[in-house]
Amino acid sequence: MADADGPRDLEAAAGGFSAIGSTLHSAARMGARRGLQALSRVNQPGGFDCPGCAWPEAREHGAIEFCENGAKAVAHEGTRRRLGRDLLARTSVRELLAHDDHWLEAQGRLVEPIVRRAGATHFEPIGWDEAFARVAAELRDLDSPDQAVFYTSGRASNEAAFLWQLFARQLGTNNLPDCSNLCHESSGEGLGEAIGVGKGTVSLEDIERAGAIFVIGQNPGSNHPRMLTTLAAAKRRGARIVAINPLRERGLVRFAHPQDPLALLGRATAIADLYLQVRVGGDIALLKGIMKEVLAAEARDPGRVLDWRFLREHTQGFEALRADLEAQRFEELESRSGIPRRAMREAAEIYCAADGSVACWAMGITQHEHGVANVQEILNLLLLRGNIGRPGAGPCPVRGHSNVQGDRTVGITERPGPAFLARLGAEFDFEPPSAPGLDTVGAIGALRDGGVRVFLALGGNFAVATPDTQATAAALGRCRLAVQIATTLNRTPLLAGRDALVLPCLARSERDLQMGGEQFVTVEDSMSVVHASRGRLTPASVALRSEPAIVAGLAAAALRERSRVPWLALVEDYDRIRERIERVIPGFEDFARRARAPSGFVLPSGARVRRFETPSGRAHFHVHPLPEDSLAPGRFLLTTIRSHDQFNTTVYGFDDRLRGLRGDRRVVLLHPDDLAAAGLRAGQGVDLTSHFRAETRTLRGFSTVPYDLPRRCAAAYFPEANGLVPVASVAERSRTPTYKSIEISVTPAANLE
Ligand SMILES: Nc1nc2c(c(=O)[nH]1)N[C@H]1C(S)=C(S)[C@@H](COP(=O)(O)OP(=O)(O)OC[C@H]3O[C@@H](n4cnc5c(=O)[nH]c(N)nc54)[C@H](O)[C@@H]3O)O[C@H]1N2
Ligand SMILES: Nc1nc2c(c(=O)[nH]1)N[C@H]1C(S)=C(S)[C@@H](COP(=O)(O)OP(=O)(O)OC[C@H]3O[C@@H](n4cnc5c(=O)[nH]c(N)nc54)[C@H](O)[C@@H]3O)O[C@H]1N2
Ligand SMILES: [Mo]
C-alpha cells in the first residue's frame, strides 16, 4: 500500500530524513563513539530498555530498535555535561528557580548527593550516610506516617518500585501517588470495571493481524514512533486504519521509516484511511454515532454484524446500550463531535468489514472529565463484535513512561487491594496499612493544607507535571523536607519549604555494580511483556547509586529495628528482590529465570482468554450520557499536547517539526476562522485565561498560531500551559486532571505598563 511521494512530501511525513538527522545529532551530544555504542544496545537482548516510551519491542531481534525520541532520551541521560559543585556554589536556589526547566536539565547529570539545609541559600554536597540519616530523622519525627508522601514516576524499574512501596507501607502509609494518576488512570478504572483487568489485552502479533486499527487520542508520530513501524506494516498487508484526533497529526497521515531503504528513495506509507477530526472532548458523541451505524448495519443484515454468541455468553448490559443508542439523535451527535454522519458510517463500515479490530488510545481519551466514560465507550464498540480475547482484536491503551505499567503491577498504588496486602504482609512479616492513601491530586491538596511534612519522589518532576503550577509550587513550599531521587536537577526539589535533598541515581543505560556483581533490572511494556534491562555504559559519576540501592538505604536508615526486611542484602543481588516479587505478585513464577529469556515473558491476563474477572464473570457494557455542552460563547476548549522534542517536562528543544512549528512553545493553536472572529492576528501576543467554576487563572506571553483543528478548540503545549489547569478539575472516578479539556478565553496581551 506504500505510495510514492516526492521529496517534499517526504519531509512532511513523520520519520524520514529529518528523524535520522535528529537521531545522529543526539548521538553526537554523547560523543560519537559512546553515543553509537549506547544506541546499539537499546532494546536488544542483553541491552537496556529504551527509557523513552512503553511501546513493546519487536520480537525478532537484530533490527535496530530505537527511534528519534529514544535516541534523545538516551543522549539526555548520556550527556557529558555534569552539574558540579562550582555551579551550585555560585548559583543560589532563588537563581536556579529563575531559570526555566530547559536550562536546569541542560546543566547535565547530577554527580553526588546535594542538600539545601534549612535557612541556606545554596545547595551543597552531602555524604550518602548523612543524607539517609537526615531523611530517617525527619520520618521518625512525624506524628503519623500519613504525613509522608512517596511519589513515583514511571521510569522506575520493577525492582526499585517494589522496594519503594514496601518502604512506604512498612512506614505505615499508602500515600503512593504516581504519574499514572496523571496519565492512564482513566484507562485502568474503565477497563477494570468493564473487563476485570486494568490493562490492555493485545500483543504486537494482534496488531499485526488486525483488520482494522483505531488510533484514538494518540499521537504516535511524536510519542511512540516505533508504533508507526507496526502501523505501516499493518497497512502494507491490508489493514485499515481510522484516526480520531482533533489535530491532523503528521505521523498518522503518512510515515517514512527512517531505517527503510525505500524511505530513503522517497517513499512514505499513508497511514490513516479515515481521519476524523473530532472536536476536543467530542469522542463520546462520535463513538455513539459509530455504534449507531453498527446497529443499523446489523438491522440491514440481521445476525451477521454483531457477535451474538459472544454477547450472549460473555457480556452483560447490551440491551441497555442498545436502548441508549436508539435514543440518541444523529444531529446532536454530529454537532457535539463535529463529525458528519456519513463519516461515522464510513468508520462503522471499516469496523464491520474487519475480521478483528484493535483500538489504541492514549491521553486524548483519558485526560478529560469524562475520561473513564471515553474508555468505556471504546470498549462498548469493541465488545459489539466480540473484539476481545481473540487474535487480531482488543483494547490497547498505549502507555507512556517505559515502566509505568510495571510499577503498578508491583504495587505502586494508593489503593491496594486486600489480597495484595495480605501477601505482602505475610512475605515480610508485618501489618500493611489498609486505608487508601493520597493520589497525585490528593497529595497537592494535602501539601497545601500542611498535612504533608515529607515529600519523597522516585524520579519524575512533580511540580511541573501536575496541574496549577503556581498553586502546586506554593503547596510544595509547605513541606519540611523534599527528597528527590533523580538523574538531573529539576524544579521540584527547588521548591521545598525547608530542607531539600537530591539523591543522584544511575540511569537506565549505565552499568549497575553491586556486592553480588553486575545487576540488571526488569520492566513491563504496554503489552504486559516483562523483560530485562541491563545498563552497559560507565556511570556519569562514581558517587551515583542505583535506585534500588538508594531506596534500600533510605528504608534501612528510617525503619531500623521496626523492619525485618534485610534491605541491604536484598540489593546485593537483585534476584533476591525478584524472589520476593515472585512470592507477592501473581504471574511472576520462576521470575529470575524467565527475566533472563531474550524476549522476556508475558504476564497472564484472564481477559485475553475471555475469562473476565468481574463480579459477574462477564464483560460489561456501560451506558454514559452525552457530556453537557457547557462551553460559554466566545470561549475555547483547550487541549494540551506534547511535541517530539520533549519528554514530558524535559524539553529538549523548541521545535515541533512534525507540526511545522519552530522556535517557540509558548503558543496557542486556533482555527483561522476563530482567530478572525476574535479579532486576532496570527502571531499576536495573547493572554490565556481558564474558567473553572468561579475561578480564573491567567497565563501571559503566549502567541497565536492558526492551525488546522476544529472550531472552538484550542491547543497549547504541556507543561507551558499547566498553570491553566485547576487542581480541582479532575476526571470523574479516576481523578485524572482534565489536561485535555480546559475552558479558556484568549485575549490580546494586556499592556502591563
Ligand atoms: N517524544 C515524547 N514521547 C513520549 C512522551 C513525551 O513527552 N515526548 N511522553 C510519554 C508519556 S508519559 C505519555 S502518557 C505518552 C503520551 O502520548 P500521547 O497521548 O500520544 O500524547 P499527547 O500529546 O498528550 O496527546 C495525544 C493526542 O491526543 C489528541 N487529543 C487531544 N484532545 C483530544 C480529544 O478530546 N479527543 C481525541 N480523540 N484526541 C485528542 C492530541 O491532538 C494528541 O494528538 O507519550 C509518551 N512518549
Ligand atoms: N498539561 C499536561 N500535563 C501533563 C500531561 C499532559 O498531557 N498535559 N501528561 C501527564 C502525564 S501522561 C505524565 S506521565 C506526567 C509525567 O510526570 P513525571 O513522570 O513526574 O515527569 P517527567 O517529566 O517524566 O520526569 C522527568 C524527570 O525524571 C527524572 N529522571 C529521568 N530519568 C530518570 C531515572 O532513570 N531515574 C530517576 N529517579 N529519575 C529520572 C529527571 O530528573 C527528569 O527531570 O505528566 C502529566 N502532566
Ligand atoms: Mo504519561
Pocket test for ligand 1, best of 53, 636, 744 (most atoms within 8 A of CB): 53
Residue nearest atom 15 in ligand 1 by C-alpha distance: 400
The residues with which 601 forms a beta bridge, in sequence order, are: 530
DSSP type of residue 728: T
Pocket test for ligand 2, best of 74, 96, 150, 179 (most atoms within 8 A of CB): 179
Residue nearest atom 38 in ligand 2 by C-alpha distance: 459
Coil, strand or helix at 704:
strand
pLDDT band at 52 (very low <50, low <70, confident <90, very high): confident
DSSP per-residue codes, 157-218:
-HHHHHHHHHHHHHHT-----BGGGGTTHHHHHHHHHHHSSSS----HHHHHH-SEEEEES-
DSSP per-residue codes, 328-392:
--HHHHHHHH---HHHHHHHHHHHHH-SSEEEEE-HHHHSSTTHHHHHHHHHHHHHHTT-SSSTT
Summarize the confidence of residues 181-209 as an average pLDDT: 97
Cell numbers linked to 363? 491521553
Query: Are 161 and 287 found together in one domain?
Result: no
Contact between 169 and 148 (Cβ < 8 Å): no
User: Ligand 1 pocket, 559 CB below 6 A?
Assistant: no
Q: Give residue 637's pLDDT.
A: 98
User: Ligand 1 pocket, 364 CB below 6 A?
Assistant: yes
User: Separation of 283 CA from ligand 2 center, angstroms?
Assistant: 26
The whole-angstrom separation of Cα 393 and Cα 214 is 11
In the chain, the N- to C-terminal Cα span, in Å, equals 59
Q: For ligand 3, an ion, list residues with CB under 5 A.
A: 183, 400
Query: Are 327 and 407 found together in one domain?
Result: no
Q: Give residue 723's pLDDT.
A: 98
Q: Which atom of ligand 2 is nearest to the CA of 367?
A: 7
The whole-angstrom separation of Cα 656 and Cα 503 is 33
Find all residues with CB under 8 Å of 129, minimum gap 6, and list them.
none
User: Separation of 105 CA from ligand 2 center, angstroms?
Assistant: 12
Pocket lining for ligand 2, CB < 6 angstroms: 153, 155, 179, 182-183, 363, 367, 400-401, 458-462, 465, 485-488, 490, 505, 507-508, 547, 640, 648-650, 718-719, 721-722, 725, 739
Query: Are 171 and 205 found together in one domain?
Result: no
Please report whether residue 8 resides in a domain: no
Please report whether residue 228 resides in a domain: yes
Share of residues in the chain with pLDDT > 70 (%): 93
User: Ligand 1 pocket, 244 CB below 6 A?
Assistant: yes
Query: Are 254 and 374 found together in one domain?
Result: yes
Please report whether residue 417 resides in a domain: yes
Q: Which atom of ligand 1 is nearest to the CA of 361?
A: 19
Domain end position, chosen among 368, 397, 426: 397
Determine which helix (DSSP H) or strand (DSSP E) holds 4, and give its type and residue range.
Answer: strand 3-4
**Beta-strand runs (E) in 534-684:** 601-602, 619-620, 636-641, 646-647, 650-651, 667-670
Residue nearest atom 25 in ligand 2 by C-alpha distance: 460
Query: Are 102 and 72 found together in one domain?
Result: no
The whole-angstrom separation of Cα 295 and Cα 510 is 54
Query: Are 166 and 271 found together in one domain?
Result: no
User: Ligand 1 pocket, 187 CB below 6 A?
Assistant: no
The mean pLDDT of the chain is 93
Residue nearest atom 11 in ligand 2 by C-alpha distance: 183
pLDDT tens by residue, 698-718 = 999 999 999 999 999 999 999
Residue nearest atom 26 in ligand 2 by C-alpha distance: 460
Amino acid, single-letter form, for residue 720 = E
Query: Are 158 and 272 found together in one domain?
Result: no
Q: Which atom of ligand 2 is nearest to the CA of 507?
A: 35
Answer whether residue 5 shows pLDDT above 70. Answer: no
Between 46 and 436, the higher pLDDT residue: 436
pLDDT band at 108 (very low <50, low <70, confident <90, very high): very high
Contact between 590 and 582 (Cβ < 8 Å): yes
Amino acid, single-letter form, for residue 116 = R
The whole-angstrom separation of Cα 648 and Cα 305 is 42
User: Ligand 1 pocket, 218 CB below 6 A?
Assistant: yes
User: Ligand 1 pocket, 245 CB below 6 A?
Assistant: yes
Other beta carbons within 10 Å of 286: 24
User: Ligand 1 pocket, 740 CB below 6 A?
Assistant: yes
Query: Are 206 and 355 found together in one domain?
Result: yes
User: Separation of 650 CA from ligand 2 center, angstroms?
Assistant: 8
Q: Where are the alpha helices (DSSP H) in 567-671?
A: 567-570, 574-584, 591-594
Q: Which of 253, 172, 243 is CA-nearest to residue 658?
A: 253
**Domain tally, the chain:** 4
Query: Are 121 and 250 found together in one domain?
Result: no
Q: Which ligand is nearest to the CA of 72?
A: 1
Answer whether residue 212 shows pLDDT above 50. Answer: yes
User: Separation of 363 CA from ligand 3 center, angstroms?
Assistant: 8
Residue nearest atom 17 in ligand 2 by C-alpha distance: 465
Answer whether residue 62 shows pLDDT above 60. Answer: no
The whole-angstrom separation of Cα 424 and Cα 428 is 6
User: Ligand 1 pocket, 350 CB below 6 A?
Assistant: no
Q: What is the CATH number of the domain that holds 151?
A: 3.40.50.740
Share of residues in the chain with pLDDT > 90 (%): 86
Instruction: Report in angstroms the alpha-carbon separations of 489 from 69, 82, 477, 494, 505.
Output: 21, 11, 17, 9, 11
Q: What is the CATH number of the domain that holds 665?
A: 2.40.40.20
Q: Where are the alpha helices (DSSP H) in 239-316?
A: 250-253, 261-264, 283-300, 308-314
Q: Give residue 1's pLDDT.
A: 31
User: Ligand 1 pocket, 670 CB below 6 A?
Assistant: no
Q: Which ligand is nearest to the CA of 336?
A: 1
pLDDT band at 333 (very low <50, low <70, confident <90, very high): very high
Please report whether residue 290 resides in a domain: yes
- Burial class from Cβ neighbours inside 10 Å (0-12, 13-18, 19+) for residue 238 reads exposed
pLDDT tens by residue, 566-604 = 999 999 999 999 999 999 999 999 999 999 999 999 999
User: Separation of 399 CA from ligand 3 center, angstroms?
Assistant: 7
Give the angle subtended at the CA of 524 by the CAs of 457 and 195, to the nearest 5°.
105
User: Ligand 1 pocket, 647 CB below 6 A?
Assistant: yes
pLDDT tens by residue, 620-634 = 999 999 999 899 999
Query: Are 668 and 647 found together in one domain?
Result: yes
Whose cell is 443499523? That residue is 296
User: Separation of 462 CA from ligand 2 center, angstroms?
Assistant: 7
User: Separation of 221 CA from ligand 1 center, angstroms?
Assistant: 10
pTM higher than 0.85: yes
Coil, strand or helix at 712:
coil
Residue nearest atom 43 in ligand 2 by C-alpha distance: 460
Residue 196 has phi, psi (to 5 degrees) of: 85, 5
Answer whether residue 748 shows pLDDT above 70. Answer: yes
Q: Which atom of ligand 1 is nearest to the CA of 368?
A: 35
Cell numbers linked to 142? 512525624
The whole-angstrom separation of Cα 296 and Cα 533 is 49
Instruction: Report in angstroms the alpha-carbon separations of 383 from 297, 316, 740.
Output: 16, 10, 26
pLDDT tens by residue, 479-517 = 999 999 999 999 999 999 899 999 999 999 999 999 999
The whole-angstrom separation of Cα 441 and Cα 726 is 10
pLDDT tens by residue, 640-682 = 999 999 999 999 999 999 999 999 999 999 999 999 999 999 9
Boundaries of domain holding 727? 636-748
pLDDT band at 2 (very low <50, low <70, confident <90, very high): very low
Cell numbers linked to 12? 512532511
User: Ligand 1 pocket, 644 CB below 6 A?
Assistant: yes
Other beta carbons within 10 Å of 563: 18
pLDDT tens by residue, 265-306 = 556 788 999 999 999 999 999 999 999 999 999 999 999 999
The whole-angstrom separation of Cα 160 and Cα 419 is 22
User: Separation of 68 CA from ligand 3 center, angstroms?
Assistant: 18
Give the angle subtended at the CA of 133 by the CAs of 435 and 442, to the nearest 5°.
30
Determine which helix (DSSP H) or strand (DSSP E) holds 499, and give its type and residue range.
Answer: strand 499-504
Residue nearest atom 13 in ligand 1 by C-alpha distance: 400
User: Ligand 1 pocket, 639 CB below 6 A?
Assistant: yes
Q: Which ligand is nearest to the CA of 539?
A: 2
Domain end position, chosen among 352, 381, 397: 397
The whole-angstrom separation of Cα 186 and Cα 372 is 5
Beta strands 499-504 and 481-486, pairing class: parallel
User: Ligand 1 pocket, 246 CB below 6 A?
Assistant: yes
Query: Are 453 and 572 found together in one domain?
Result: yes
Domain end position, chosen among 30, 61, 77: 77
Whose cell is 454530529? That residue is 334
Please report whether residue 477 resides in a domain: yes
The whole-angstrom separation of Cα 376 and Cα 358 is 14
Summarize the confidence of residues 238-261 as an average pLDDT: 88
Please report whether residue 611 resides in a domain: no
Q: Which atom of ligand 1 is nearest to the CA of 401?
A: 12
pLDDT tens by residue, 584-593 = 999 999 999 9
Query: Are 62 and 119 found together in one domain?
Result: no
Please report whether residue 595 resides in a domain: no
Q: Which atom of ligand 2 is nearest to the CA of 484?
A: 38
594: left (phi over 0), alpha (psi -120 to 50) or beta: alpha
Contact between 193 and 440 (Cβ < 8 Å): no
Please report whether residue 531 resides in a domain: no
Answer whether residue 47 shows pLDDT above 60. Answer: yes
The whole-angstrom separation of Cα 719 and Cα 467 is 9
Residue 373 has phi, psi (to 5 degrees) of: -65, -40
Q: What is the CATH number of the domain that holds 330?
A: 3.40.228.10
Residue nearest atom 4 in ligand 1 by C-alpha distance: 223
Beta strands 499-504 and 114-116, pairing class: antiparallel
